């Protein structure tokens, strides 16, 4: 009997999984905007707007904006990471505190300048989410992919926490 | 010996009754939590897909299918738990999912990746994952382990109560 209950359990688990897959696919199929079964999650696709325009800025272009003081750099990582080290002059606006922090940060952002958002890591999506938010607010916005790492690697000016 | 409406046999024994009451409480709590967790994700699969992506654990090809199927799996498991349908199967899957969810959370907290939990709301920025999210998952696991223990491991040792349970 003891072995039996396990095999019953496993058979039932498989039945439940098959049922879920079936119901969810049918439901998804009849949604007004079905989610594609296989999505495009590579960096390029994620940073392309619905209009087909890429928001990615190259390191060199970001550097030239920085040197001409012609863009506002916004750090999308959390406050600890920002305090530990960030691009010189960058404003901290953690994606997770967006609602609380945005109104405080807004006066520091010149609306005539483009915004460059960044976080850290090739697949970090905080800067991307933040960029879409700025775009909806009417800003011209770019994403510097893997920003913190490439900035350090390029020996560009940073502000780091005093040890 | 008395038979409850979903076919459980209860011996008169008080210990068995306590076991059974906790069993029902666990099923109801987990059932409600799973149904509640599925709701927002079923409505907004795109946002949930982003949450899944942000965990950076699954291969890109598996992200959308997970975002489509997982919320429905949670809903069905929640309903089955509450109504006592396929209990052994449901208990296996609930345990499996909670272990996976908690591991994924702990793994990303350890890696220092700032993930949106995506646990109850799919909305970005709604609930950052932190140590409390892990604590909540672990407390849910206590209930699911309890169910697993008395559904599989201790099943034959208790007097009568679970002999004919759910099969």
- Per-residue model confidence as pLDDT tens digits over A107-122: 888 888 999 999 887 7
Task: State whether residue A30 sits within 8 Å of chain B by CB.
Answer: no
The per-residue pLDDT of chain A, averaged, comes to 87
Q: Given this model, what pLDDT does residue B51 score? A: 85
Q: How far is A36 from chain B (nearest CA, A)?
A: 7
Q: Given this model, what pLDDT does residue A115 score? A: 93
The string of DSSP letters for B124-149 reads TTS-B--HHHHHHHHHHHHHHHHHHI
Task: State whether residue A24 sits within 8 Å of chain B by CB.
Answer: yes
Contacts of residue A41, Cβ cutoff 8 Å, sequence gap at least 6: B53, B60, B63
Task: Report how far Cα A31 is from the mean position of its chain's Cα atoms.
Answer: 26
Instruction: Report residue B132's pLDDT band, with 50, 70 and 90 as the boundaries.
Output: confident
Distance CA B77, CA B97 (A): 10
Instruction: Report residue B16's pLDDT band, with 50, 70 and 90 as the boundaries.
Output: confident
Structural domain spans, chain B: 2-153
**Cβ contact (<8 Å) for A41 and B156?**
no
Minimum-distance CB partner of A42 among B60, B152, B156: B60
Q: How far is A24 from chain B (nearest CA, A)?
A: 5
**CATH for the stretch A43-160:** 3.40.250.10
**Cβ contact (<8 Å) for B93 and A13?**
yes
Task: State whether residue A106 sits within 8 Å of chain B by CB.
Answer: no
Minimum-distance CB partner of B88 among A5, A23, A35: A5
Task: State whether residue A15 sits within 8 Å of chain B by CB.
Answer: yes
Structural domain spans, chain A: 1-38, 43-160
Q: Given this model, what pLDDT does residue B113 score? A: 65
- Per-residue model confidence as pLDDT tens digits over A83-140: 999 999 999 999 888 888 888 888 888 888 999 999 887 777 788 888 888 888 888 8
Q: With CA atoms as reference, report the closest residue to B24 among B82, B92, B79, B75.
A: B82
Closest residue, chain B, to A12 (C-alpha): B89
- Per-residue model confidence as pLDDT tens digits over B82-119: 999 999 999 999 999 999 999 998 888 887 666 666 77
Across-strand partners of B116?
Answer: B128
Which ipTM score applies to this complex?
A: 0.83
Read off the DSSP letter of residue B152: I
Q: Given this model, what pLDDT does residue A96 score? A: 81
Q: How far is B86 from chain A (nearest CA, A)?
A: 6
Q: Which of residues 119-138 of B touch A (CB under 8 A)?
A: 124-125, 128
């Amino acid at each position: 009997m003891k072995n039996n209950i396990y095999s019953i359990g496993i058979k039932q688990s498989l039945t439940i999984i098959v049922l879920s897959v079936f119901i969810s696919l049918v439901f998804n199929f009849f949604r007004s905007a079905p989610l594609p079964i296989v999505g495009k999650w590579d960096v390029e696709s994620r940073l392309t707007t619905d209009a087909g325009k890429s928001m990615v800025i190259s390191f060199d272009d970001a550097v030239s904006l920085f040197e001409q003081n012609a863009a506002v750099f916004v750090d999308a990582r959390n406050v600890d990471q920002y305090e530990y080290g960030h691009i010189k002059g960058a404003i901290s606006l953690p994606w997770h505190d967006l609602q609380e922090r945005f109104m405080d940060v807004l006066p520091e952002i010149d609306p005539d300048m483009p915004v460059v958002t960044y976080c850290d890591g090739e697949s970090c999506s905080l800067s991307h989410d933040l960029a879409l938010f700025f775009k909806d607010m009417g800003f011209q916005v770019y994403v510097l992919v893997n920003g913190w790492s490439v900035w350090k690697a390029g020996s560009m000016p940073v502000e780091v926490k005093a040890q | 010996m008395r038979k409850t409406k979903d076919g459980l046999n209860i011996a008169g024994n008080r210990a068995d009754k306590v076991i059974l009451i906790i069993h029902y409480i666990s099923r109801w709590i987990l059932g409600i939590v799973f149904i509640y967790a599925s709701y927002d994700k079923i409505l907004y699969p795109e946002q949930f897909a982003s949450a899944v992506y942000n965990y950076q654990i699954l291969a890109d090809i598996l992200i959308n299918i997970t975002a489509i199927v997982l919320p429905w799996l949670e809903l069905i498991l929640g309903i089955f738990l509450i109504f006592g349908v396929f209990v052994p199967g449901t208990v296996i899957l609930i345990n499996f999912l909670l272990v996976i969810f908690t591991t994924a959370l702990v793994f990303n907290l350890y890696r220092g990746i700032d993930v949106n939990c995506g646990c109850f709301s799919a909305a970005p920025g709604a609930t950052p994952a932190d140590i409390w999210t892990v604590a909540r998952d672990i407390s849910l696991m206590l209930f699911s382990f309890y169910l697993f223990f008395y559904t599989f491991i201790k099943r034959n040792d208790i007097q009568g109560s679970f002999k004919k349970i759910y099969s």
